[in-house]
Structure 1
Amino acid sequence: MKMISLQYPLDGLSELQLDKPLSIAIGHFDGVHRGHQNVIRRAVEEAKAAGQLSAVMTFDPHPKEVLGQGDQYYRCLTPLNVKTKLFAELGVDLVFVMSFDLSFASITPERFVDEVLRGLRAKQVVVGFDFTFGSKGAGNAEELKRLGSPDIDVHIVEPLYENEGKVSSTWVRESLEKGDLETASLLLDRAYEITGTVVHGDGRGRTIGFPTANIDFDYPYVSPRLGVYAVVAWLDGRPYPGVLNHGMKPTFNKEGVQPVMEAHLFDFNRDIYGEKIRIEFRSFVRTEKKFSSVDELIKQIGRDSDQVREQFSN
């Protein structure tokens, strides 16, 4: 799969050397959840049927962040490198990363279709039912159909429902904020994950018999609820189960500190400072609490570890 960065106005399109027309799915696709996957798979299927290249156009940064419609969109479910990996797994040939800035945000729907889609030789476009485009969201999926006619076929994918709720990035975010990993994983069709670098912490975990890997995030992720989790950590392509605490460490810290993530990996004793680590969140164990003594904390960590070990053994 090839990734191509674009900026409006599009220059140098002839240098792309696209030897076939495109079937292209368009959207930000944060999370690449099951609803997004339906849109992307449809573009791949249409491309195969018509002998075209399958493509995805995504936007960076999130349009709502640029337009000031919500600071929460600064935090992502899937950073760009993870999105592109998931696109590749869905069989996509090309990914266009459109720089979303105020210049691009101000173009009319007509110019988007004429200058961007026709400029890229798009012959089929696949969007979700709630797709909007152009200045102030003036265009919708039906308008895209009208503007694309007669040379661009537009396919509109209906929403996907789960337990009478519409699968959406918002629902995934809300589930994570509640610690409802079961729902988040169901919507994503995979475990929620973050990546980062193992950094030095306060070293207290080792002194109480539970050494931890403290994680400095690579990206501003959507943070799950504060608490203790069953996780699988991936290091050098190998999985290591463990427990992760996401919180303020109230037994030791006063108020005003920032939350941290630190993972205790079972049966693991290796210096991994400075190494990349990927954490898959498997289940929520309990909320964070302040203990009356360090001994009480140690006992609880032991109980948490036993519970998670049993979970992974089943």
Structure 2
Amino acid sequence: METVQLSYPLPQDGRPDDSAKVLAIGDFDGVHLGHREVIQRAVERGAELQLPAAIMTFHPHPRQVLGMDKYTKLLTPLAAKQELLRQLQVDTTYVVDFSESFMRVTPEQFVEHMLVPMKVSTVFVGFDFTFGYKGAGTPDTLCDLAKGRFAVEVVRPFHRNGEKVSSTLIRECLLRGDIAEANALLARPYRLEGTVVHGDGRGRTIGFPTANLEVSQPYVIPANGVYAVQVTVGGRKVGGVMNVGVKPTFVTGLTQPALEAHLFDFHETIYGEDVQVELLAFIREERRFASVQELISQIGQDADQARSILAARKTIQNS
């Protein structure tokens, strides 16, 4: 998959990517089931028309530029989103610079100076797609502005258990610790990426050494608690149990959650290594223990439960 950076306005001619194409437009934060429906429709139409299938997305996230605080953290920062799009057989991802000046572009200007120069054949959008200054453009607006120069297909909402799948819903699931539902909506385990850094070394002294993760991008961090995880390090997948939280048994006043993963049957030194952590299941809430021995006993139980979860998952995958 090729990634092309774009900024408004596009030149009206002479672009190297001005051949006809099918285009899906959206933020696609999470690349969840609803997004996949839009993207898959574009990929299928591209195959039918023998045209490349492309994605247009925006960076930074439009709601970040608009100052919506909860969108300072993302389900899939740009690099993670690009990797997921690559897996969906997208030929090209166009990343549009979403600046304050671009935010003021009208729906008409967006069509005339972005879509028309790209020679789009068909544009796919979700039913709730908005574009242009203050979100004035809707799918109906896009159809009107196309003026027969390109087709517009609007994809209906994707529902699970009677509820519309959305990035907002997934955020809510993560922030209440419902990792099972978040993963179901994403059609994959929720993943964090970062670097292993030095911690306080306390885990090793109590028999449970941990890899301390410093996330590399502004991810949505799930609710404080203990999770069964699968960690990819050095090309290997290793099961483990991870605590997300403020370590109340040992620390007071910590506000930013620490991410500490105990990896099963793993004894290598990996400080400075980049790792990926997939959250598979929520085990329990974080809490303060009356003694270190009580904490050690609970961590042992958490580890046993995580091992069982990982074993059951492996059985399902192999069946």
TM-score range, shorter chain: over 0.9
5 Å matches for 1:12-27?
14-18=14-18, 20-27=19-26
- Equivalent position SS for 1:14: coil
Q: Could you tell me how far apart the structure 2 residues matched to 1:313 and 1:154 are?
A: 46
Q: TM-score, with normalisation over the residues of structure 2?
A: 0.96
**Deviation at 1:257?**
4.0
Displacement after TM superposition at 1:200 (Å):
0.1
Is contact 1:181–1:283 with CA below 8 Å preserved after alignment? Answer: yes
Among 117, 120, 125, the alignment partner of 1:119 is 117
Q: Which residue of the other structure, out of 258, 266, 271, is the alignment partner of 2:256?
A: 258
**In 2, are the aligned partners of 1:213 and 1:264 still within 8 Å (CA)?**
yes
Find the aligned partners of 2:140 and 2:250 in 1 and give their Cα distance. Answer: 57
Q: Counterpart of 1:83?
A: 81
In structure 2, distance between residues paired with 1:13 and 1:195:
40
CA contact (8 A) 1:13 1:120 kept: no
Distance 1:79 1:256 in 2: 25
Cα deviations by residue, 1:159-198 (Å, 9 ceiling, x for unpaired) = 0110110000001000001111111011000000000000
Q: 1:203: Cα distance to partner? A: 0.3
| Other structure's SS at 2:207 match | coil
Q: Deviations over 1:14-51 (max 9, x none)?
A: 24244x30100000000000100010111111111112
Give the C-alpha shift of residue 10 in structure 1. 2.0
Q: Which amino acid aligns with 2:163?
A: G
Aligned counterpart, 1:237: 235
Counterpart among 202, 206, 209 of residue 204 in structure 1: 202
Write the letter of the residue equivalent to 1:29.
Answer: F
The correspondence for 1:311, drawn from 305, 309, 312, is: 309
Figure out how many residues of one structure are paired with residues of the other and give that number: 312
Secondary structure of the corresponding residue to residue 296 of structure 1: helix
1:182 match: secondary structure: helix
Q: Judge which range, 273-282 or 42-51, deviates more.
A: 42-51
* Contact 2:8 2:113 (8 Å CA) reproduced: no
Q: Which amino acid in 1 is paired with 2:45?
A: E
- Which of 265, 268, 293 pairs up with 1:267? 265
Query: 5 Å matches for 1:37-52?
Result: 37-52=36-51
- What's 1:190 paired with? 188
Taking the TM superposition and a 5 Å limit, the aligned residue runs for 1:98-113 are 98-113=96-111
The two structures, once aligned, show a CA RMSD in angstroms of 1.1
Q: Does 1:10 align with 2:21?
A: no
CA distance in 2, matches of 1:114, 1:27: 18
Is the Cα–Cα contact under 8 Å of residues 17 and 118 in structure 2 kept in the other structure?
A: no
Structure 1 residues 30-39 or 303-312, which shifts more? 303-312
1:105 and 1:64 map into 2 onto residues whose CA distance is 10
Contact 1:105 1:134 in 2 (8 A): yes
> Which among 291, 294, 297 is matched to residue 296 of structure 1?
294
**Partner-residue secondary structure (3-state), 1:187:** helix
Q: Structure 2 CA distance, aligned partners of 1:73 and 1:105?
A: 16
- TM-fit CA distance, 1:100: 0.3
> In the alignment, residue 49 of structure 1 is paired with which amino acid?
E
* Aligned CA distance change for structure 1 residues 245 and 10 (closer, same or farther; 3 Å): same
Amino acid at match of 2:222: P
Distance 1:12 1:308 in 2: 56
Is residue 2:135 matched to residue 1:137? Answer: yes
Report if the CA contact (8 A) 1:229-1:245 is conserved: yes
Q: Which runs of 5+ in 2 are unaligned?
A: 313-319
The whole-number CA distance in structure 1 between the counterparts of 2:222 and 2:232 is 19
Q: What residue in structure 1 maps to residue 69 of structure 2?
A: 71
Instruction: Compute the displacement of 1:67 (Å).
Output: 1.4
Deviation at 1:98, TM superposition (A): 0.2
Question: Alpha-carbon deviation of 1:312?
Answer: 1.8
Distance in 1, matches of 2:147 and 2:162, equals: 34
What are the superposed Cα offsets for residues 266-297 of structure 1, whole Å, 9 maximum, x if unpaired? 11100000000100000000001111111111
Conservation of the 8 A alpha-carbon contact between 2:12 and 2:117? no
Following superposition, which runs of at least 4 residues in structure 1 exceed 6 angstroms of deviation?
none
TM-score by length of 1: 0.97
